[in-house]
Amino acid sequence: MIVAGIRTEQCCETTARHASDEGWEVDYVTEATLTFDMQTPDGAPLRAAQIRERTAAVLAGRFATLCSVPEALRRATTGPALR
């Protein structure tokens, strides 16, 4: 399963975690996700790049394989998406 989309830290991360929990092999394409700057609860700025980096760090190797677009497309054609 290839995960890409909008709201890196919300929709994309949740989809990747849930799919992994259900037994899917997840390819997470960080460069094909989008999010927006936010504020932490204490009001400090949290940049979109920081959010994407954090999401990649918590998914990598535990819930997903981080892939570029070409890598994910190549992997999608080499075998079944279920473990």
pLDDT at position 33: 97
Cβ atoms of 30 and 57 within 8 Å: the answer is no
The CATH number covering residue 8 comes to 3.40.50.850
| Domain assignment of residue 7, given as a range | 2-76
Q: Is residue 50 a part of any domain in this protein?
A: yes
pTM above 0.75, yes or no: yes
pLDDT at position 78: 83
pLDDT at position 19: 98
pLDDT in tens, the chain (83 residues): 999 999 999 999 999 999 999 999 999 999 999 999 999 999 999 999 999 999 999 999 999 999 999 999 999 888 655 44
Question: Rg (Cα) of the chain, in Å, rounded?
Answer: 13
Q: Is residue 83 a part of any domain in this protein?
A: no
Q: Is residue 8 a part of any domain in this protein?
A: yes
Q: Is residue 67 a part of any domain in this protein?
A: yes
User: Collapsing DSSP states into helix, strand and coil, what is residue 40?
Assistant: coil
The total number of structural domains that make up the chain: 1
